[in-house]
Chains A and B, each alone.
Chain A
Amino acid sequence: MEDLSLSLPEAPAWAMFAGVAGRVLVYATIVFFFASIIGWLRAPKSPGMERLGKVGFWLGACCLFLTFACLASLFQGNQFQYDYVFGHAESNLELKYKIAAIWSGQQGSFLLWAVCSAIFALIAAPRTGLYRRWFSIPYALFLAALGAILAYETPFNVIPEVIQNGKILVPPTGRGLVPALQNYWVVIHPPTIFLGFGSLTVLFCWSLSAMLNRNPIAWVRMVRPWAIASTAILGLGLMMGGFWAYETLGWGGFWAWDPVENVSFVPWVFGVALLHGLIIQSTKGTYIGANLVLGGLPFLFFVYGTFLTRSGFLGDSSVHSFAEMQRGALWVLMGLGLATLIGFLAVYLTSGRRLSREFSKPPNEGGANRESLYRTSNILLSLLAAATAIGMSMPFLSSLVSKRNVAIQEWLYHQVLSWVYVPLMILLAVTPFASWRSLGWKALWSKVFNVLTISVGLTGFALLYLRHPEWGLNADQDKTTLIAGALDVKTVYWVAFLIFLSLFATIGNIWRIVESLRRSPMSIGGFVSHLGIAVFMAGMILSRGLERHERFNVTRSSPDEKMGFSVTLKEDPKPEQLFDRNHKMSFDVTGPDGTFVARPGLYYTEGPDGPKPMVWPHIQRYGTHDVYLAMGPPAMAFWENPEFFKPGERRTIQDVTVTFHGYDMVGQPGTAGTKFVGKVTVEYRGEQFEANPTFAIGEPGTMPVTGQFRVALSKIDAATQGAELQLYFREAVYPIEIYYKPMTGLVWAGAGILALGGFLAAFYRRTKPTKPGQTGELDSIQNSDSENEVPNDNAPAPIA
């Protein structure tokens, strides 16, 4: 122990400084944000205080950025004396994975959340105009609370064991980044999604400030580009997460309703509802109270979700195994969640509701106009989010009520959410044709009729296509789906109905895009993103609903054949390559689309309990479908552990009867080259084999073949003349799963269209920063009022 420690280098001074600086900076963050709060609170009385508020906020944010820089430098410089660095990185990681490792743990992800929130605060705050004071105060409070969590659970702890004789030594390497995370998506997905989370704080603080400033009007125009950006970034992050899962995890799917996915999905849906609410308010001057609530909900639900996933209550129901937080930090997070919830509710009840009544225009005349359809879709969107949140909370609620855990499975989410999904998709198709002035249902119907007819026709073709596998799309015809818990229908028909909804929405929105190109390109962003949603959902539904799936077991000498696919292993991997990160297997896969070489990844990392296998799926993409091949680690040892046999002993382990008759020694005892030759009989399923496995000192022994197995002599006990035997498969068995996933291309296309639509919308809605003082309170109210009289440019053109 001691001599090893002498060879370890001592920690460099810069690294020890970076650690101390990181800790100090976290405390400085808290101090500066509190200074900013005091400054802003006292700002109306003394003008100099406003300066303190602004400067304090800037300094607090800069301290957060510097904290992140300190942590990043420790990762970059391989400073494994720090517990957090040791736990999440290793010396030979590529730089991009060292960066990814920064946020692969609990503390780092909180730091990333804080940094992303602070970035948005610095960009948004100067543009908040008259709302800036009450925008900055809760924001600073929130960032200070994140600072407190980071102070409790600091990533700058030095491992106690590396301090020897007053010196801090640097271990040569760390435990490494979980191999599944070593993927390019992990480098870009977390920063994107955390930027999305950070942007939620902007929406929350802005709506809070709108209530506290008693001005629920002016904020609507100002916050709109932020709401669009927030939804776009969060949506992009969500999709990247799905693509990462698809490409690396080998589940064969994009989305699994995992609590961690839901934590981001729920705020996103509320954000989408807010977007539509803002459009209602800026056009009709109503929906004021609802917007104030919808501005706060995404953030509140995200904090709640973070609490759920980090508290350990979800325990076994998530595939993401999060470490439980330290109690102290968890209490801070819980306090933060409760304080924001109670504070927000209190402000809404005392001021928001009254404001909503004071400022609201008279309600619309009813009938088929865009406002009523937006209101309906917002109720549905909120229900979608609420239902998902309820599902996500079930394990937690159940463990509170009955002290036991439950799980909500994928099919149950689908069953429940379909009730909301179906009307939502119909609205997605119909609403673009409604105008802000009431038309009456008849007029709306006449506009939609053409689109409906075309989509019904196309659905017919789609169904024909689905029912004829020989035309290229080989869907499972016999699978059934339970609808509404009672009706058992063929999945193909249910999928066809869902595809009809997507087609309806797709054609409706394309129709409106074509019309708007001529008249008002400004409104195109919305239609394009709706088109993206429709295409994306079609891809998700087809690829999951009509998926076919079969298991294969392949060895070198025995290919496996199922589902029209035959899988052959060309050659066994060379042992020396198996520790190479980039090692790929080679299987010849012959299927309905011809032959391709599947190259799923397989490699081993040295773990504390022996080599750990790591696998990557192979995805073969075709125009109409993906063939997704997920290989499990090969099975080699037949017995889980080697077994000790006394001479003459006969035992049956896992249906194989082995008799050990003893061993002979060849050569001089104690010298190199000495061989022990075992005498073993193996009986399996009526067959009997004699074998002589050898065990040699200083060189590999032999493992003779006995039927389906190889038998190995793994240890000799001279005292008892006994030996340890192990049975291996004669050939390694490669377990393979092949998923046939139709139309996955639509998922990618839809995601792309959706992102494009989001950025188009944000581009046309961007606002210039307003200086405080320029926009007086009354002024802005009147301004927006007068503009509200003009119906929005989203009004559709009449259809001839």
Chain B
Amino acid sequence: MNIRFGPIFTFVLVAVAIIGVSWAFIANASPYVTVSEASKSGANNVHLKGTLDKTSIRNDVANHVITFKLKDVNGDVATVDYSGPPLQDMNQASELVAIGRMKNNRFVSEKLLIKCPSKYEGKEKPQI
């Protein structure tokens, strides 16, 4: 019998580790959700993605909360209470992702991801 157990052991260990890592990522990943999914989800790190209704932005000076409405792909609208750091480009944002959780039918968020269409690769052409 001349089977080398070392490599087999290593292989099994590595396989188990990779499965473990994948499982950990899959189980804990923060999904991008729609409004109805966010309402059902109990997680506090869901990524709610939608288009910003610019007319709905409200700035509560006293409490430093910015409130706005976000419309998802299904057309459902959620009211977001955002209390995170101030943003530069909220006005120019078309799509944004609010990270947080649903609480009393409002989406409470401290972090926004903003994609500005004109930031890196604009569609505008020179005016001539």
Which A residues are within 8 Å of any B CB, using their own CB?
1, 4-5, 8, 80, 86-87, 105-106, 159, 161-162, 164, 169, 171, 174-175, 178, 316, 319, 321-323, 363, 366, 379, 382-383, 386-387, 390-391, 394, 398, 404-409, 412, 415-416, 419, 485, 551, 553, 607-610, 612-615, 630, 632-633, 635, 638, 640-641, 654-655, 708, 729, 733, 735, 737
Contacts and interface: CB of A to CB of B under 8 A. Distances in A.
A171 B97 CA distance: 36
Contacts of A1: 128
Contacts of B22: 390
A87 B28 contact: no
Contact of B122 (A87, A322, A382, A406): A87
B10 interface: yes
Contacts of A164: 128
Contacts of B64: 551, 553, 735
Given A390-B22, A614-B88, 8 more contacts: A1-B128, A159-B126, A321-B116, A407-B29, A633-B86, A654-B59, A655-B60, A737-B85
A59 B24 CA distance: 50
Given A162-B128, A551-B64, A394 B97 contact: no
14 contacts: A162-B126, A321-B121, A390-B22, A406-B30, A409-B30, A409-B45, A412-B29, A485-B24, A632-B85, A632-B87, A633-B86, A635-B86, A640-B55, A640-B57
B18 A390 contact: yes
Contacts of A735: 64, 85-86
A726 to B, nearest CB: 13
A608 B47 CA distance: 29
Interface string B13-41: 11001100110111011111000000000
B61 A407 contact: no
Nearest to B97: A316
B42 to A, nearest CB: 16
B27 to A, nearest CB: 9
Contacts of B6: 363, 366
Contacts of A363: 4, 6
B114 to A, nearest CB: 9
Given A630-B85, A635-B59, A386 B25 contact: no
Contacts of A87: 121-122
B49 interface: yes
Given A161-B125, A406-B32, A321 B120 contact: yes
Nearest to B22: A390
Nearest to A735: B86
Contacts of B14: 379, 382-383
B128 A386 contact: no
| Contact count band on B | 35 or more
B30 A175 contact: no
Nearest to A412: B28
B98 to A, nearest CB: 11
Contacts of A390: 18, 21-22, 25
A386 to B, nearest CB: 6
B125 A415 contact: no
Contacts of A319: 113
A321 B30 contact: no
B88 A416 contact: no
Contacts of A737: 85
Nearest to A685: B62
A394 B58 CA distance: 35
A396 to B, nearest CB: 12
B74 to A, nearest CB: 13
A456 to B, nearest CB: 28
A74 B66 CA distance: 44
Interface of B: 4, 6, 10, 13-14, 17-18, 21-22, 24-26, 28-32, 45, 47, 49, 54-55, 57-61, 64, 85-89, 91-92, 95, 97, 113, 115-116, 118-122, 124-128
A654 B125 CA distance: 36
A553 B61 CA distance: 9
A615 B97 CA distance: 22
A635 B122 CA distance: 25
B118 A607 contact: yes
Contact of B126 (A105, A161, A321, A638): A161
Contacts of A485: 24, 28
A319 B114 CA distance: 8
A386 B85 contact: no
A416 B21 contact: yes
B116 to A, nearest CB: 8
B120 A322 contact: yes
Given A408-B29, A641-B55, A316 B88 contact: no
A221 B4 CA distance: 28
Nearest to A250: B85
A178 B31 contact: no
A312 B58 CA distance: 32
Nearest to B111: A409
A608 B118 contact: yes
A708 B31 CA distance: 41
Contacts of A379: 10, 13-14
A608 B122 CA distance: 10
B18 A383 contact: yes
A322 B121 CA distance: 8
Contacts of A316: 32, 47, 49, 95, 97, 113, 115
B34 to A, nearest CB: 9
A607 B55 CA distance: 20
A229 to B, nearest CB: 29
Contacts of A80: 126
Contacts of B45: 409
Nearest to B21: A387
B76 to A, nearest CB: 16
A610 B118 CA distance: 13
A407 B6 CA distance: 37
B25 A394 contact: yes
Contact of B24 (A174, A398, A412): A412
B122 A175 contact: yes
A655 B61 CA distance: 11
A416 B24 contact: yes
Given A316-B113, A383-B18, A615 B88 contact: yes
A638 B47 CA distance: 27
A405 B128 contact: no
A87 B118 CA distance: 10
A363 B121 CA distance: 55
A412 to B, nearest CB: 5
A323 B61 contact: no
A323 B25 contact: no
Contacts of B10: 379
